[in-house]
Structure 1
Amino acid sequence: MTALLDWQSDGLCAQTDPVLFFPDPGSQARPAKQICHGCPVRPECLHHALTNGERYGVWGVTSERERRRLTTPTTTTAGGPS
């Protein structure tokens, strides 16, 4: 069993079934995100996910796809936005 980070024990997810935060591919992440919206450690959770490259699950109200968008550099084309 891994030790929890200081903030994790304060997360609402710690009081909820963890399966909810790791939905099957194609399943809705909305139920987990609704819990996240009221969580007092949401910023720490998102920071952890981005810093540690968490590839799976809902972290800090973001899905895997949303975190990829946050970390993937955007490219601009000539004449496009700078």
Structure 2
Amino acid sequence: MHASCCSVGDYLFFPPTDERQHERARRERIAKKICAECPVLSPCRQYAIAVNEPYGIWGGMSESERRAYR
């Protein structure tokens, strides 16, 4: 409810199936900027790590960043 992403479409946080690498990098950069100023960044990140969320940007981390963290 207090997350910064609530006012933005989820298209920035979850990749479309036909996304190109440079488009993905740009989209993720924008999503992470939104996350960086989010008041619930930490609980969002903790949730995504705890449930092994396989898709999207959560708490400012991508899928590969969460895998590497674990």
Shorter-chain TM range is 0.7 to 0.9
In 1: Cα distance, 2:15 partner to 2:57 partner: 8
The gaps in structure 2 that reach 5 residues or longer are: none
Deviation at 1:51, TM superposition (A): 0.5
Deviation at 1:31, TM superposition (A): 0.6
Q: Please name the residue that 1:55 is paired with.
A: 54
In 2: Cα distance, 1:62 partner to 1:33 partner: 7
Worse-superposed segment, 16-25 or 59-68: 16-25
What is the percent sequence identity of the aligned residues? Answer: 40
In 1: Cα distance, 2:15 partner to 2:30 partner: 10
Q: Please name the residue that 1:65 is paired with.
A: 64
TM-score, normalising length: structure 1: 0.72
How many residue pairs get matched? 63
Q: Please name the residue that 1:35 is paired with.
A: 34
Please give the per-residue CA displacement for 1:11-52, whole angstroms capped at 9, x wherever unaligned: 001111111101235312111001000000000000000001
- CA RMSD in angstroms comes to 1.0
In 2: Cα distance, 1:35 partner to 1:44 partner: 15
Q: Which structure is higher in helix share? A: 2
Worse-superposed segment, 26-35 or 59-68: 26-35
TM-score, normalising length: structure 2: 0.84
**RCO comparison, higher one (Cα < 8 Å, 6+):** 2
The structure with the larger Rg is 1
Q: Please name the residue that 2:45 is paired with.
A: 46
Consecutive aligned runs of 4 or more in structure 1 exceeding 2 Å deviation:
23-26
Residue 14 (structure 2) pairs with residue 15 (structure 1): no
